Structure 1
């Protein structure tokens, strides 16, 4: 039988970027500890994890750029920034015009939109009314 050990990341627990300094870790620890103290017994249990994380940041990593044992979130924050067309941001495709009754189609679309909006208004108003007395 395989045993799965959940990895804990001290940087994620403290809410700081991977490789942060001891000073940044202390600031994050103080901010989170303040919140945990207000939670009472539940906060004291979580304080153990917070203290462990601070100790790991202090003693764990001497060369952050060479460390491969701790996962990093996100590995590259700029990877989540879309800066133009691509797989996640394609350019719009324009369809060629189709022959037919465009004015009739536009009128039908407007009528459908008005009907949907009327339905929305009725449902919204009904949710504000109380049921009739019995």
Structure 2
């Protein structure tokens, strides 16, 4: 059984407006991945489910609820069932190709962020209505 909250990456009982924002993020992630196990149809279904359950979320027991605080699964200290991590020696070397791929990925991410900020903040105000019907 699918969990709409897990598909969208939101907490149980999330309001519909926040679910829509997470839907947009998840849709971008799916478009970039192209061919993953979750498709846009699954996200549409999940968003519809979250929006339709918004009024009765507190009373609904048909959906498995993921704990909101993942820290409850982390043991407070090390012991028999919580062995401390063991650092392993590195077995590979970082090549120039690896560094270049990382730099290219970072440059692409920074470019997307800058483009989003510029589109959201930079507008041109004509000060009058243009023949196309634009004021800004």
Normalising by structure 1, report the TM-score: 0.50
Q: Which one has the bigger helix percentage?
A: 1
